[in-house]
Amino acid sequence: MKSFLAAAADAGNRSFALVQASDGRVVVPRLELALDSATRRKGLLGRDGLDPGAGLVIAPSNSVHTFFMRFAIDVVFLHRSGRVLKIRHRVPARRVAVSATAHAVLELPAGAAATAGINVGDTLALQ
């Protein structure tokens, strides 16, 4: 099965959003992608926060840590199809979050998953 992120691999520096696949509603208007080893390793480290409406997808990945981070985040684990498998809300610094079957991790500002209406079982797609 091809990843819901496959189009991003060939898109260069194009900007993306994440939408609900069922109705096209934008849930993350400004999406950053960490698809290579260097950007996956760095993630959100060194930042003071994420702006409202922003998010970072790390793929392939089924876990993240918040060691050395300065702010809490929401962590959304995604299947290769884009289906939401698990959500960890307001994960503080010095924690690890894992979903054994995830293909990608979406990191959002703390509280943003609920505000955007992202729920387990939803399917998200690139736009």
Tens-digit pLDDT profile for residues 10-56: 666 678 999 999 999 999 999 999 888 888 888 887 788 899 999 99
Q: In Å, what is the CA distance from 45 to each residue of 37, 71, 74?
A: 14, 10, 15
Give 72 or 36, the one with higher predicted confidence.
Answer: 72
- Structural domain boundaries in the chain: 6-126
- pTM for this entry: 0.93
Q: Determine the pLDDT at residue 42.
A: 83
Report CA Rg, the chain.
13
* Mean pLDDT score of the chain: 93
Summarize the confidence of residues 64-76 as an average pLDDT.
94
Does the domain formed by 6-126 have CATH 2.60.120.1140? Answer: yes
pLDDT at 31 (0 to 100): 95
Q: HSE on the CB side for 75, CA within 13 Å?
A: 24
